[in-house]
C-alpha cells in the first residue's frame, strides 16, 4: 500500500500505462526544425515573425503577437508594459502555477490573492470586488484547466477602476468566451508553449497586445532594451534607455510552433472530445464533482481534466494500482514562502485544497483510455 506521494514516482509511457501528460510533437515539426537548422537563421529570425503573424490571425483577431522564450517571459513582459512598479497592488489568483505570480515579485509589486470560485477553480469575481482599491494596478486572471474565467464580471470591475486585465491563458489555447477567442478580449493575454501544453515549441510563449503602440517597446524589452532592427540596419545610436531581458523566441522553436499550428484544429478537437467523454461518464457519480462542465457561454480548451473528491489521495493510489497516473499539478501559491505565507481570507481554496485531482488528458489517449479511468473511479475507492 502506498502511503505518500513519494511512493508514486513519474510513470513511464510504456505497456498499458496511462500517463498524466504527454507532449504532442507533429511529424512535420521534425522536418521543419531540420530545415531551419540548415539555414542562416536559428536564432530570432523570419520564422519567429511568421509564427507571430499566423498565431495572431488564428487566435487573436489579428492583434499584435510577441513571441518569447516562455510563458513566464510573456507574463513579465506584460507586467512591465502595464507599468506595474514597486508597491503597486495586483490582484492575482491564489490557485495557479507559481509562474503566474513570480514575475510580479520581479517588479516588487504587492500580490493580493483572490480566492477560487467554487465549481471552476477560477478567480472569484466576488472576492476581486472586495480586494480592489485605488492602489490596484491590474487584475491577473488564469483560465484554470482551459475554462475561461467570468470575463464580463472581471471586465466590469476593471473598467470601473480604470485598470487592465492581464490574462494568463497558458491553459486556454482554443477557448472562447461569448463567441470571442481568448486572446482577443483583454489588454494583455499570455499563452504558453511549454512541453505539455496544447502546442509546444519545446518551451516558449506568446504575448498578445490590444494596444498596437506597445509593439516596439515590447520588442525592445524582449531583446536587452535594444532596438534590434535599427542595430541590424546599422543606424542604432548605441544607447540603451530601458532595462531589457533576453526573452526572444528563436527560429528553431518557431518552426515547431508553425508545424503545430497546421494541425491545431485536430489537436483541439481530440482534446475536447476526450474532455466531454470524461464529463459524460462521470456525470452523476456519487462523490465526484467534475470541474468546468456545463457552460454554454464559453468553450473549454480542454487542457486539464479535474475532479473534486473526498479522500483524494486514496483515489490517486487506486488509479496508480490500475496503471493510471494522476496528480494535483497546481497548488495554492500562498503556501510558498516567497509570497509571504498562508492567507486566512480564502475559504473556498481552503475547502478544496486537498480534494482536487487532475486526470490524464492528452493526444496519446483515446476514448477507451477515458473509459478505463472512469470505470476505476466509478468502482469506488
Which CATH number covers residue 82? 3.40.640.10
DSSP state of 60: S
Integer Cα distance of 145 and 172 in angstroms: 7
pLDDT at 230: 85
The grid coordinates of residue 273 equal 472530445
Domain boundary at 229, 262, 295, which? 262
- pLDDT reading at 180 higher than 60: yes
CATH number at residue 345: 3.90.1150.10
- Given 262, 290, 313, the domain boundary residue is 262
User: Over 90: is that where the pLDDT of 7 sits?
Assistant: no
One domain, residues 275 and 319? yes
Residue range(s) defining the domain that contains residue 90? 27-262
Percent of the chain residues topping a pLDDT of 90: 93
Read off the pLDDT of residues 211-266 as tens digits, 9 standing for 90 and up. Answer: 999 999 999 999 999 998 888 888 888 899 999 999 999 999 999 999 999 999 99
For residue 13, pLDDT over 60 is answered with: yes
CA proximity to 109, closest of 92, 131, 86 = 86
What pLDDT does residue 232 have? 84
Claim to verify: residue 339 and residue 278 sit in the same structural domain: yes
195 & 152 share domain = yes
The answer to whether the beta carbons of residues 50 and 254 sit under 8 Å apart is yes
Handedness of CA 287, 290, 294, 297 (dihedral sign): positive
Domain count across the chain? 2
Greater confidence (359 vs 5) lies with 359
Residues 244 and 284 in one domain: no
pLDDT band for position 5 (cuts 50, 70, 90)? low
Q: Which triple of cell numbers denotes residue 285?
A: 457519480
3-state secondary structure 358-380: EECCCCCCCHHHHHHHHHHHHCC
**What is the distance between the alpha carbons of residues 306 and 119, in angstroms, rounded to a whole number?**
10
Residues 230 and 327 in one domain: no
Question: For residue 202, what is the DSSP state?
Answer: S
Average pLDDT estimate for 174-193 = 98
Residue 316 pLDDT grade (very low, low, confident, very high; cuts 50, 70, 90): very high
Of the candidates 202, 138, 208, 136, the one whose C-alpha atom is nearest the C-alpha of residue 172 is: 208
Give CA angle at 250 (248, 252), nearest 5°: 160
**Both 31 and 41 in a single domain?**
yes
Q: Is the pLDDT of residue 208 over 60?
A: yes
DSSP SS3 for 68: strand
Q: What is the pLDDT of residue 156?
A: 98
Task: Please identify, among 231, 262, 293, the residue that sits at the C-terminal boundary of a domain.
Answer: 262
Whether residue 151 sits in one domain with residue 65: yes
Task: Pick 3 or 258 by higher pLDDT.
Answer: 258
95 and 225 in a common domain: yes
Tell me whether strands 110-114 and 136-142 are parallel, antiparallel or unpaired: unpaired
Residues 181 and 70 in one domain: yes
Do 85 and 42 reside in the same domain of the chain?
Answer: yes
In whole angstroms, how far apart are CA 277 and each of 153, 271, 327, 333?
30, 10, 20, 31
Domain match, 75 and 192 both:
yes
Neighbour count for residue 272 (Cβ, 10 Å): 17
Question: Which cell numbers hold the place of 370?
Answer: 477515458
Q: Would you state the cell numbers that stand for residue 205, as one nine-digit string?
A: 510563449
d(CA 371, CA 367): 6
The verdict on 141 and 276 lying in the same domain is: no
Amino acid at each position: 500500500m502506498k502511503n505518500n506521494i513519494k511512493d508514486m514516482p513519474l510513470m513511464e509511457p510504456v505497456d498499458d500505462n496511462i500517463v498524466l501528460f504527454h507532449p504532442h510533437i507533429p511529424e512535420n515539426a521534425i522536418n521543419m526544425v531540420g530545415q531551419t537548422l540548415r539555414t542562416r537563421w536559428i536564432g530570432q529570425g523570419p520564422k519567429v515573425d511568421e509564427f507571430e503573424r499566423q498565431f495572431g490571425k488564428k487566435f487573436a483577431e489579428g492583434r499584435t503577437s510577441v513571441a518569447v522564450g516562455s510563458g513566464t517571459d510573456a507574463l513579465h513582459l506584460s507586467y512591465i508594459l502595464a507599468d506595474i512598479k514597486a508597491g503597486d497592488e495586483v490582484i492575482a489568483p491564489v490557485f495557479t502555477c507559481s509562474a503566474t505570480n513570480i514575475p510580479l515579485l520581479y517588479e516588487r509589486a504587492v500580490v493580493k490573492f483572490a480566492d477560487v470560485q467554487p465549481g471552476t477553480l477560477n478567480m472569484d469575481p466576488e472576492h476581486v470586488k472586495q480586494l480592489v482599491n485605488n492602489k490596484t494596478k491590474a487584475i491577473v486572471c488564469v483560465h484554470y484547466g482551459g475554462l475561461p474565467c467570468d470575463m464580463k464580471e472581471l471586465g466590469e470591475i476593471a473598467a470601473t477602476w480604470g485598470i487592465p486585465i492581464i490574462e494568463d491563458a497558458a491553459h486556454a489555447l482554443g477557448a472562447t468566451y461569448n463567441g470571442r477567442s481568448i486572446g482577443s478580449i483583454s489588454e494583455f493575454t499570455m499563452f504558453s508553449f511549454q512541453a505539455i501544453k496544447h502546442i509546444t515549441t519545446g518551451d516558449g510563449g506568446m504575448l498578445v497586445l490590444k494596444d498596437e503602440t506597445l509593439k516596439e517597446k515590447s520588442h525592445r524589452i524582449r531583446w536587452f532594451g535594444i532596438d534590434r532592427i535599427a542595430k541590424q540596419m546599422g543606424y542604432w545610436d548605441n544607447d540603451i534607455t530601458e532595462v531589457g531581458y533576453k526573452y526572444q523566441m528563436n527560429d528553431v522553436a518557431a518552426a515547431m510552433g508553425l508545424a503545430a499550428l497546421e494541425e491545431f484544429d485536430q489537436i483541439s478537437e481530440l482534446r475536447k472530445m476526450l474532455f466531454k467523454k470524461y464529463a459524460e461518464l462521470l456525470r452523476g457519480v456519487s462523490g465526484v464533482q467534475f470541474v468546468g462542465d456545463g457552460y454554454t457561454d464559453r468553450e473549454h480548451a480542454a487542457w486539464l481534466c479535474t475532479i473534486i473528491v473526498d479522500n483524494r489521495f486514496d483515489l490517486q493510489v487506486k488509479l496508480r494500482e490500475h496503471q493510471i497516473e494522476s496528480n494535483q499539478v497546481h497548488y495554492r501559491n500562498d503556501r510558498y514562502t516567497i509570497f509571504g505565507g498562508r492567507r486566512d481570507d480564502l475559504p473556498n481554496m481552503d475547502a478544496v485544497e486537498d480534494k482536487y485531482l487532475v486526470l490524464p488528458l492528452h493526444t496519446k489517449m483515446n476514448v477507451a483510455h477515458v473509459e478505463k479511468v472512469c470505470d476505476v473511479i466509478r468502482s469506488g475507492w
